[in-house]
A and B are shown apart, each in its own frame.
Chain A
Amino acid sequence: MITEHSTKPMYQYDHYDRQVIKERVDQYRNQTQRYLAGEISEAEFLPLRLQNGLYVQRLAPMLRVAVPYGLYNSAQMRKLAAITRDYDKGYIHVSTRQNFQLNWPRLEDVPDILDELASVDMHAVQTSGNCIRNTTTDQYAGVAIDEIEDPRPWCELIRQWSTFHPEFALLPRKFKIAVCATEEDRAAFKFHDIGVELIHNDAGETAFNIHVGGGLGRTPVISQLIKPNLAWPHLITYLEAVLRVYNQLGRRDNKYKARIKILVKAMGAEAFAARVEKEWQFIKDNDNTLNVEAVNRVKAFFISHNYESIDDQSSNAQLQSQRLESTAFSRWLDKNVKPHKQSGYAIVNLALKPTGIAPGDISDFQMEAIADLADRFSGGLLRNTHHQNIVLADVKKEDLFELWQDCESLAIATPNLGYLSDPICCPGGDYCALANAKSIPIAEAVQRKFDDLDYLYDLGPIDLNISGCMNACGHHHVGHIGILGVDKKGKEYYQISLGGNMSREASIGKILGPSFSPEEIPEVIQKILDVYVNERTDEELFIDTYRRLGIAPFKEYVYAR
């Protein structure tokens, strides 16, 4: 049966997928009942609820809903909006791993929430816990101009393999996989436990470079290439070999040394690779080996048949005249709209960082309005980005002006994508039980100080990443400017690092020096920017000036008495 729904270029559940998710809801309902009846202890329930994305936070539980590689549809968005109204406080949070988070569900209600999610083919499977988490990729996958091949079918195959994998539910620590298929890396694959880099080999066939042992957290590490040019049928068996080695040899005595990056460092990348190779020889070509039918079945879901043939030149001419009508539209077009591989189409970023709202938070009203925008302008599909924004990936250029006007009225049109006032920011001490310090008010203080768009544009793109603790959910290590909340004798302080980079030229930021009180942060950022503005050469980006000069001049000026 072909329905309108099934023509959308995203993976469609069949009765197998639905059965797995239904059985999962039943299983979790039973687990919750046994926990509430006292049959399962707190400690034993912990990994069960975590594997279902349920944390117990500072004020209430937090439920993380899985959005496989960030892609979802308008019906799912509407269901989520209804869930935030019926079970929560009417808003949701976009996480840095392209998922959604509910901040106020009741533990007892979670089985019912899962039922609601299952009705639109969603779940919370493995969104937390020491297991394989949601596989992430480029938010522009399938429409990016610099793409070798759509990474999403491979993400989907990894999703299926890793879902309820019997052997890897209780790993030494959490495990994150990212797939990158573009020249410009938008998936931060070098900072994942496994980074799968899609390439085309000399014969023009799909293959993968497998990078292992990257990550942020307490010990930020850039991953190492352990298997170049892996032929595509072996993707799953090779991943399984990596995981099996890690499951057996990863440290379990100290949770801060339990990630695979520590094991790879301790063994050395070569020895680790050799060990994986040995393991792989046993399982290579087993039933998990992919074949053309399996891959083509999944690939077919992601092919869009909906594009109209549009003359790019006339679309562009129209945009030119609309630009003259409105400077604000023109700015938005320059900053939040990205080129699309299809003539006459564009990629639109909806900005979720208005000043005064926690970065990545949206209300139920906005969610429903965004779902409507997706239906009207972008084939009914949406994507969450690891920068905590939302993407409409298939917008006709001729519709951009109208879409922009709607975005303006929804307060999701701030033309600041990639600039200082578009920070990545974890929920921090306002919500999170792990945090040492708040992060949302820091983001807001910076946004308030730097609210002049002309100044921000003059500064050029700057990644500001803010984490409330060493767990680095705000990816502070890889921000051009990173801010880390620390606890100093019971008071909240903030450590600044400079020079991190999430792209292909990956780097980890260097700590500037002693930490600052929250009130000092905006002024410190100003000083850092002053050094950049004084020292930069024409057209030099912040990160490049930093790389040329090193940290010394920044340090000197910021700490000068």
Chain B
Amino acid sequence: MPDNAALLIKDQQLSNNNWQVIDKEQDIDLCCLTDSDKIILPFARWQENQSMALGKANIGLWLDSDEPAEPLASICHEIPLIAINFPVFSDGRGYSYARTLRDHFSYRGEIRAIGDILPDQMYFYQRCGFNSFLLRSDVNPETAIKCLNDFTISYQAGSDKRKPIFHQR
């Protein structure tokens, strides 16, 4: 499960983490939230409370690796932060979910990678539209930030602003 004490990289730098990821099994009383409590709810939980949660600047949601982004097509713009969980780093579904949010739904909020987040995937995450990363606690953040820029050019379009090399030649 996401480690809330872990280091956060946001927009290419080490940042303070103000958001708390709520576990699927974790009990939380949504009525008692103050404006300074920022929480990321499991998607199912968020759906149960959609009428209350939608549009709140301090409530985000997280998708697990078996929860595609399609249901968020028309509503994602009212969600400040969408996290995508990688239960193991080798489960690559989340990359496509992020791209769906960015490319299909033009989502402009924060997309945060949570779970088994490793430096050597940082470049790929970023090109797929993630802009914040909750690192696994044993990961060296300097290595992770360096890995964000493993490649300075790209052959193909992604969800970042890079154009395929063939347009530049």
Which residues of chain A come closer than 8 Å to B97, judged between CB atoms?
248
B116-157 Cβ-contact flags toward A at 8 Å (1 or 0): 001011011111100000000000100100010011111111
- Of A19, A39, A166, A252, which contacts B128 at CB under 8 A? A166
Question: Which segment of B17-25, B30-38, B45-53, B88-96 sits at the interface?
Answer: B88-96
Which residues of chain B come closer than 8 Å to A365, judged between CB atoms?
none
28 contacts across the A-B interface (CB closer than 8 A)? A16-B153, A20-B151, A23-B150, A27-B151, A31-B120, A34-B143, A48-B120, A130-B90, A160-B156, A160-B166, A163-B155, A164-B151, A164-B155, A166-B95, A166-B126, A166-B127, A167-B158, A170-B90, A170-B95, A171-B92, A244-B99, A247-B95, A248-B96, A252-B93, A286-B103, A287-B157, A288-B157, A297-B169
> Do B169 and A14 have beta carbons less than 8 Å apart?
yes
> Do B140 and A39 have beta carbons less than 8 Å apart?
yes
A283-315 Cβ-contact flags toward B at 8 Å (1 or 0): 100111010001001000000000000000000
B residues whose Cβ falls under 8 Å from a Cβ of A: 68, 89-93, 95-97, 99, 103-104, 118, 120-121, 123-128, 140, 143, 147, 150-158, 163-169
Which residues of chain B come closer than 8 Å to A34, judged between CB atoms?
143
Interface of A is mostly: helix
- Of B68, B124, B164, which contacts A167 at CB under 8 A? B124
Which residues of chain B come closer than 8 Å to A169, judged between CB atoms?
92, 95, 121, 124
Contacts of A244-269 to chain B: CB distance below 8 A: 244, 247-248, 252
Task: Please measure, in the bound complex, the distance between the C-alpha atom of A24 and the C-alpha atom of B95, giving whole angstroms.
Answer: 21
A44 CB-CB contact with B under 8 Å: yes
Task: Please measure, in the bound complex, the distance between the C-alpha atom of A171 and the C-alpha atom of B124, giving whole angstroms.
Answer: 13
Task: Please measure, in the bound complex, the distance between the C-alpha atom of A92 and the C-alpha atom of B15, giving whole angstroms.
Answer: 49
Which residues of chain A come closer than 8 Å to B127, judged between CB atoms?
166-167
The minimal Cβ–Cβ distance linking B149 to chain A, given in whole angstroms, is: 9
> Do A23 and B151 have beta carbons less than 8 Å apart?
yes
The minimal Cβ–Cβ distance linking B109 to chain A, given in whole angstroms, is: 19
Tally of contacts, chain A with chain B, CB under 8 A: 107
Task: Please measure, in the bound complex, the distance between the C-alpha atom of A338 and the C-alpha atom of B78, giving whole angstroms.
Answer: 65
> Do B166 and A297 have beta carbons less than 8 Å apart?
yes
By the criterion of a CB under 8 Å from any partner CB, how many residues of chain A are at the interface? 42
> Do B150 and A47 have beta carbons less than 8 Å apart?
no
> Do B120 and A252 have beta carbons less than 8 Å apart?
no
Task: Please measure, in the bound complex, the distance between the C-alpha atom of A27 and the C-alpha atom of B123, giving whole angstroms.
Answer: 11
B162's closest neighbor in chain A, by CB?
A: A287
Please list the 9 inter-chain residue pairs (A to B) with the smallest Cβ-Cβ separation, ordered nearest first.
A170-B92, A166-B127, A287-B157, A294-B166, A166-B124, A160-B155, A167-B95, A282-B104, A27-B150
Contacts A16-B165, A44-B118 known; A23 to B152 CB distance under 8 Å? yes
The minimal Cβ–Cβ distance linking A548 to chain B, given in whole angstroms, is: 47
Which residues of chain B come closer than 8 Å to A170, judged between CB atoms?
89-92, 95, 121
A161 CB-CB contact with B under 8 Å: yes
Which residues of chain A come closer than 8 Å to B123, judged between CB atoms?
166
Which residues of chain B come closer than 8 Å to A16, judged between CB atoms?
153, 165, 168-169
- Of B96, B126, B152, B169, which contacts A244 at CB under 8 A? B96
Task: Please measure, in the bound complex, the distance between the C-alpha atom of A236 and the C-alpha atom of B155, giving whole angstroms.
Answer: 12
**Residue among A167, A247, A290 facing the most chain B CB atoms (10 A cut-off):** A167
The minimal Cβ–Cβ distance linking B126 to chain A, given in whole angstroms, is: 8
Which residues of chain A come closer than 8 Å to B167, judged between CB atoms?
287, 294
Which residues of chain B come closer than 8 Å to A166, judged between CB atoms?
95, 123-128, 154, 158
Task: Please measure, in the bound complex, the distance between the C-alpha atom of A130 and the C-alpha atom of B118, giving whole angstroms.
Answer: 17
Which residues of chain A come closer than 8 Å to B120, judged between CB atoms?
31, 40, 44, 48
